[in-house]
Amino acid sequence: MDLPKVNIAVAASAVVAIVSTVGGGIWYASSQASIIESLTEQVETLTIENNATDRTNLIRDVEHNTNQIEDIIDYIVELEEEGEETLEDVMSEFDDVYETQEGFLLQFNQIVKLQARVKTLENTLEYLARRPSLSDGR
């Protein structure tokens, strides 16, 4: 049996194609590895920078909030001091109103009693006016 004759040019071009494909794959993989290594270094650098930025922001925020809390405490103290004065004023005015109301109620009760007496007198006069035997001649 005769083996088929292989053209050396075809075989050489197939070997060149296979070698260049494998070489291109190796070059692409090494290129990707280099990019990954570079990105890893950048991520580490950015992580360190972000941690420093976060720490700085945290310190700034804590100082800002501390100042705000102190301002709020000062404001509450002022309100309490003003509130005590205001409460004393309100209680004083309430006492005045209560005394005035008490006097008004006493006067109102006296007026009601007088109205009751007047009504009783009116009823008595009406009764006397209707009874001829007790009448004074009117």
Question: Is 129 in contact with 138 (CB distance < 8 Å)?
Answer: yes
At 14-36, the pLDDT tens digits run 888 899 899 888 888 888 888 88
What's the angle, vertex CA 75, arms to CA 69 and CA 81, rounded to 5? 140
Return the pLDDT at 24: 87
DSSP, residue by residue, 14-63: HHHHHHHHHHHHHHHHHHHHHHHHHHHHHHHHHHHHHHHHHHHHHHHHHH
Return the pLDDT at 97: 79
